[in-house]
């Protein structure tokens, strides 16, 4: 993940749970709170209710890859916690990706096409300055 750090400590997760907004769908729950920085921080939580360790690891990888695939389309400056529901254990990659995109869209975290183009233009301009 290029732009995103991980939430690792319990107090970081608790901060997002206590201060953040939540939204849910069939497979996932998303908590989000502004963090005041230029990057996002992602935490993934999969409880033992979802399955044994192999299943939990699989679900975690699905969520992380889904997030990574749409990372460039997201607004920055948020702490995000994604919680897997039990139904996520049987979900395919495409279902998880669709669920995560749905949650981001509902929370207005996806950039519009013009905002994505502006970000790309800034990135290209920054790349040209470092080469010169």
- The edge-to-edge listing of strands for the beta sheet with 78-84 is 4-6, 40-45, 78-84, 28-34, 21-24
- pLDDT for the residue numbered 4: 85
User: CB within 8 A of 78, min separation 6: which ones?
Assistant: 32, 33, 34, 35, 40, 41, 109
Q: Are strands 40-45 and 28-34 parallel, antiparallel or unpaired?
A: unpaired
pLDDT at 96: 96
Q: Where are the domains of the chain?
A: 4-131
Nearest by Cα to 67 from 52, 56, 80, 53 = 80
Residues in the chain with pLDDT < 70?
A: 1, 127-132
Measure Cα distances from 2 to 14, 68, 81, 88 in Å: 25, 8, 18, 25
Topology of the domain covering 4-131? Ribosomal Protein S5; domain 2 (3.30.230)
**Longest Cα pair distance anywhere in the chain, in angstroms?**
54
- Give the per-residue pLDDT at 37: 87
Query: What's the confidence (pLDDT) of residue 68?
Result: 94
pLDDT at 95: 96
């Amino acid at each position: 993940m290029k732009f995103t750090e991980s939430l690792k400590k319990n107090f970081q997760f608790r901060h997002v749970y206590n201060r953040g907004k939540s939204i849910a769908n069939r497979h996932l729950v998303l908590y989000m709170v502004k963090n005041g920085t230029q990057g996002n921080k992602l935490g993934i939580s999969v409880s033992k209710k979802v399955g044994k360790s192999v299943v939990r690891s699989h679900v975690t990888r699905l969520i992380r890859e889904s997030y990574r695939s749409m990372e460039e389309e997201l607004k920055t400056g948020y702490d995000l916690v994604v919680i897997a529901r039990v139904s996520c254990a049987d979900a395919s990659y495409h279902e998880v990706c669709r669920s995560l995109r749905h949650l981001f869209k509902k929370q207005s975290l996806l950039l519009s096409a013009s905002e994505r183009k502006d970000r790309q233009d800034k990135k290209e301009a920054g790349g040209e300055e470092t080469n010169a």
